[in-house]
Structure 1
Amino acid sequence: MKVIVTGCTGLVGSALIRQCIANDDISHVFAISRKPLDEAVAKSPKITVILHDDFSTYSTQLLDKVRGAEGCLWAIGGRATQFPDIETYRKVQVDYTVAAANAFRETLAPLLAAGGQFRFVFCSGKFAEWDQSKPLHFMADTRRVKGLVEQQLCQVADADTAKRFVVYCARPSGILPPDAGLAARLSGKLYGAIDVDHLANALIRVLLEGYKDRIIENRSLLAL
């Protein structure tokens, strides 16, 4: 399978790139990134790096470069506190993600062989909340915005009457980097933290095989 990966230089995105290279079922990766990738990664014959500045728009030229992709692993985002203000967070998390989903649904999904589906796998977060008016007592902005992305992605998929474009929203809890120490791993057990490479492999498996549920909670990711 040929796949698109975004957020390629972040914690989750870089793990996705590593695990895609190692996975024999992934034949090629189109890495759409603002920044160049590590030279050792970029030299892999399985990787095509596409530098892209504005993730709110997808030109015909860019879409031509990813022609043949059968799915997308979307890892752009994070927590609201990592952004200068809530407006920027909404733009990056909601607008960019939905713009890509619409572009891929309209342009790439119809190119697949009969019966094929374009799978868009979004890395969301635990406790994402669809009800935008619900009072929340912790991480309110992050949970509402991630819930809004999930909701709008599902609307994009539902608008595809041919059912060629499908969406999965994965909700990991805390994510442990490869070099996490013993203390971080022990404390992580308290809230179901997941190793980033385990998460990457779980997302890739969903991309390759699909999943029974549209929303994939942390406990299910741990079991994949």
Structure 2
Amino acid sequence: MKVIVAGSTGLVGSTLVRQCIASDSVSHVWALSRRPLPDAVGDSPKVDVLLHDDYATYPPELLADLAGAEACLWAIGGRATQFPDAATYEKVQVDYALAAAKAFLAALVPHLPEGKLFRFVFCSGKFAEWDQTKPLHFMADTRRIKGKAEQGLCEIADADTTKRFEVYCARPSGILPADAGFASRLSGKLYGAIGVDHLAKGLIHIAVEGSKDRIIENEQLLAL
């Protein structure tokens, strides 16, 4: 499978690129990034690094470079507290993801071989909430905005009359970096934290195999 990784320099995205290189199921990776990747990754014969500044737009020349992609692993976002305000967070978390999904559906899906599907795998977060009016007592902005992104992506897939564009939303709890210490791993067990390599392998598995569920909760990710 040929895949796009969006957010290739973040914790999850950079791990996705490395795990794609290691995976026998992935034959090629287009790594969308605002800056060059480390040589050890970017020099892999499996990887094409495409420098892209504006994730709200996908010009024809970029889409031409992505021709043949069968999946997108979307790892752009994070938590609302990592951004200057909720409006900026919503732009990055919702607007960018929906713009990419619409562009890939319109430009990439029609050129896939007959019978091939395109899977958009969105790395969301535990407790994402679709109901934008529901009172939330913790991480309200993060949960609502991730839920809004999930809902928008699913609506795009539902409106696809060809039924060749699938959306999956993975909801990890806390994510542990590969070098997390003993204390972090121990405390992580209290809230079901998942190791970033485990998460990346799970997202790739969903891209390759699909899933019976559109929303994949943390417990399901841990079981992959």
Please indicate the TM-score interval, normalised by the length of the shorter structure: over 0.9
What CA distance in whole angstroms lies between the structure 2 residues aligned with 1:180 and 1:160?
41
- C-alpha displacement at 1:110, in angstroms? 1.1
- C-alpha displacement at 1:88, in angstroms? 0.6
Overall identity of the aligned pairs, in %? 71
Asked if residue 213 in structure 1 is aligned to residue 213 in structure 2, the reply is yes
Amino acid at match of 2:116: G
What's the counterpart of residue 8 of structure 2?
Answer: 8
What's the counterpart of residue 95 of structure 1?
Answer: 95
5+ residue gaps, structure 2, are: none
Per-residue CA shift, 1:109-134, capped at 9, x if unaligned? Answer: 11111111100000000000000000
**Structure 1 counterpart SS, 2:191:** coil
Per-residue CA shift, 1:63-107, capped at 9, x if unaligned? Answer: 000100000000000000000111110100000000000000111
What's the counterpart of residue 154 of structure 1?
Answer: 154
Per-residue CA shift, 1:19-75, capped at 9, x if unaligned? Answer: 000001100000011111011111000000000010000000000001000000000
- C-alpha displacement at 1:193, in angstroms? 0.2
What's the counterpart of residue 44 of structure 2?
Answer: 44
What's the counterpart of residue 84 of structure 1?
Answer: 84
What CA distance in whole angstroms lies between the structure 2 residues aligned with 1:115 and 1:65?
22
What's the counterpart of residue 107 of structure 1?
Answer: 107
What CA distance in whole angstroms lies between the structure 2 residues aligned with 1:73 and 1:88?
22
What's the counterpart of residue 142 of structure 2?
Answer: 142
What CA distance in whole angstroms lies between the structure 2 residues aligned with 1:145 and 1:48?
31
What's the counterpart of residue 29 of structure 2?
Answer: 29
**Structure 1 counterpart SS, 2:133:** coil
- C-alpha displacement at 1:13, in angstroms? 0.3
What CA distance in whole angstroms lies between the structure 2 residues aligned with 1:116 and 1:28?
16
Q: Which runs of 4 or more aligned residues in structure 1 lie more than 4 Å from their structure 2 counterparts after TM superposition? A: none
Which TM-score applies when normalising by structure 1?
Answer: 0.99
What's the counterpart of residue 18 of structure 1?
Answer: 18
- C-alpha displacement at 1:174, in angstroms? 0.2
**Structure 1 counterpart SS, 2:36:** coil
What CA distance in whole angstroms lies between the structure 2 residues aligned with 1:65 and 1:107?
11
Which TM-score applies when normalising by structure 2?
Answer: 0.99
RMSD: 0.5
Corresponding residue pairs, total: 224
